[in-house]
Amino acid sequence: MRTVSDTMYPDAEKIVLVCDKLSTHTIAAFYEAFEPNEACRLAERFEWHYTPKHGSWLNVAEMELSVIARQCLDRRIPNAATLTSEVAQWERKRNAAKTAVNWQFTTADARIKLRKLYPTIQLQ
């Protein structure tokens, strides 16, 4: 994260991180890795946004990585050129099939499971 902050985006006011809810994806991780002053400096550079536990785009990306690993990368590939060609061929087939994610997590489910994230309105 120091490289992201100081080398890749040194002039950015804030760097927005989109993370899943792994325990390592917290400001506390800075304090485990760096001295307090450095951890504080880095923590102030980042803005944290967490994807929902269920149904996030990150879940879709992880599913696709699992599929490509099983369907295309489950063998020895001799060199980078062959890898590039094999992945491109797999990708063309996958896109042509118009494979979609069958979400079974509905808006109604979200309202129940994620109710703690919704604001509470106090009527007077």
43 in the same domain as 62: no
Which residue range forms the structural domain that includes residue 43? 2-50
41 and 64, same domain (yes or no): no
What band does 56 get if pLDDT is binned at 50, 70 and 90? low
Nearest to 86 by CA among 74, 98, 101: 74
pLDDT of residue 112: 79
Q: Are residues 37 and 64 part of one domain?
A: no
Query: Is pLDDT above 70 for 113?
Result: yes
How far apart, in whole angstroms, are the C-alpha atoms of residue 124 and residue 117? 22
Residue 24 lies in a domain: yes
Q: How confident is the model at residue 22 (pLDDT cuts 50, 70, 90)?
A: low
Residues 2-11 pLDDT 10s: 999 999 999 9
- Judged against a pLDDT cut of 70, whether residue 28 lies above it is answered with yes
pLDDT reading at 121 higher than 70? yes
Say if 119 falls within a structural domain: no
